[in-house]
Amino acid sequence: MKLLKIGMKFLKLALMAGGVLLIFLTIQRYWAAAAYQGPPKSPQFRIEKIKRGNIENTISCTGTLSAVGTVEVGTQVSGTIKKVLVDYNDRVTKGQILAELDLDTLNAAVAAADASVIKARALYKQATAEYERNKPLYEQGHLSSQEILIYETEKETTRAELLSAQAVVKKEKINLRNAQIRSPINGVILERNIEEGQTVAASLSTPTLFIIAENLSSMEIEASVDETDIGMVNKGQAVTFMVQSYPDDLFYGTVTQIQMNPTETSNVVTYTVIVAAPNKEGKLLPGMTATADFVVEKAENQLLVSNAALNFRLDNLNNNEDPGIYVLDGGNPKRVCVTLGITDGITTVIKGETLTPGTSVIIGKNIEKTESSNGFLSKILPKLPGGGGGPRR
């Protein structure tokens, strides 16, 4: 019984302490609510400013860089490569010896041809003498026409053999001269496909020994343009492009040729467009992959606005009205009709009265956020007027 009384006293003390604490917290909350002015009121609209600048409408594709004026150098003579006198990236001049075949066999062929000429000349000389000796006998009637014809035929036959032997000598000397492979142009060696001791055969097709670029200061891009875009590409059109080796550099070119022969890959039809690309700094190399943008439309020093401003509406009415934007006039939205120019899908060229760079335009509404208090004390304490929950810390 005594313990029960003691427990009741403790319970009364605990309830009294809780009540005092509740009163204290309520008073503190009222004081905080009175002092709290609430968060700063957020603007009703999201805005951007009209700016003046340049805009381009482009179509994109990829292509491969190649040198202008590339020449493949081969050989017209079969044989064994004895000397290779140039290497990759060497600059060569027209007529310079690039490589040389073994000349022993060719020199022997020239000597044999010279011997054939000597023999043919001797036979021709003999046949001519025989004909000249018997011709007076024919004229005097001592020889028949058939007999003099034999001497004449022998003379002409040996003459033909002499001419043939002389042609063989000329041919063998040309082969000897062609055994020294020379550069046909001034340029740079891009590719070398031979080594000393290698055998080359020119019987069926001329093998490619060297590839020489006439001038690496002028490059070209073979770009593959989709059939849906080829109608917007024209000769003389400006092109900008980038290469992976220099991702921060922008290069410029011009369309020089549109090839009409299509290429179809996996049911996708493309056309090859040649783009001239100056390379004065020498950064561009043959074989690089270029990402090219063909400039279809371009506007310079024009007023530009975000497409979000053109799409903004204060309500859902009048969706088919003329193009316009909302500007802030004394803090209130005011609609201004505009004339639209080209667009790149993000910004658009506009024209309108009273519009100047720096004018604030509305691009959307700010979404009002409400604060909720889900703490334990918020549930047990009474709500205060004004919805204040005290300042957040």
- Residue-level pLDDT at 358: 87
Average pLDDT, integer, range 177-205: 87
Helix, strand or coil, per DSSP, at residue 378:
helix
pLDDT band at 339 (very low <50, low <70, confident <90, very high): confident
pLDDT by residue (tens digit) across 248-295?
999 999 999 999 999 998 899 999 999 999 998 889 999 999 999 999
- Residue-level pLDDT at 155: 93
- 382: which 2 tokens? 């009474």
- 284 CB contacts (<8 Å, ≥6 apart)? 65, 219, 243, 251, 277
343/305 Cα distance (integer angstroms): 10
From the list 79, 107, 52, the residue with the least C-alpha distance to 300 is 52
From the list 329, 348, 321, 352, the residue with the least C-alpha distance to 47 is 329
| The CATH number of the domain covering residues in 47-54+302-365 | 2.40.420.20
Considering only CA atoms, give the Rg of the chain. Answer: 48
From the list 311, 74, 29, the residue with the least C-alpha distance to 184 is 74
Q: How many CB atoms lie within 10 A of CB 34?
A: 11
Q: What percent of the chain has pLDDT over 70?
A: 82
pLDDT by residue (tens digit) across 37-92?
555 555 678 888 889 998 888 899 999 999 888 899 988 888 899 999 999 889 99
> For the chain, where are the alpha helices, taking DSSP H only?
2-35, 104-139, 145-178, 307-311, 376-380
pLDDT by residue (tens digit) across 232-243?
999 999 999 999
- Could you tell me whether strands 347-351 and 360-365 are parallel, antiparallel, or unpaired per DSSP bridges? unpaired
Better pLDDT: 356 or 39: 356
Better pLDDT: 321 or 309: 309
- Residue-level pLDDT at 332: 82
- Could you tell me whether strands 238-243 and 289-306 are parallel, antiparallel, or unpaired per DSSP bridges? antiparallel
Q: What is the DSSP letter of 19?
A: H
Average pLDDT, integer, range 140-145: 88
* 111 to 176, 180, 181, 338: CA distances (angstroms): 11, 18, 22, 90
Q: What percent of the chain has pLDDT over 90?
A: 43
Q: Does domain 60-66+215-296 have CATH number 2.40.30.170?
A: yes
| Locus of tokens 């060719």 | 106
- Taking 70 as the threshold, does the pLDDT of residue 31 lie above it? no
Helix, strand or coil, per DSSP, at residue 234:
coil
- Residue-level pLDDT at 259: 93
Question: Would you list the domain boundaries of the chain?
Answer: 47-54+302-365, 60-66+215-296, 104-176
Average pLDDT, integer, range 156-182: 93
348/361 Cα distance (integer angstroms): 14
Q: Does domain 104-176 have CATH number 1.10.287?
A: yes
From the list 96, 51, 118, 106, the residue with the least C-alpha distance to 76 is 106
- Residue-level pLDDT at 41: 52
- Taking 90 as the threshold, does the pLDDT of residue 124 lie above it? yes
Better pLDDT: 184 or 43: 184
- Residue-level pLDDT at 34: 54
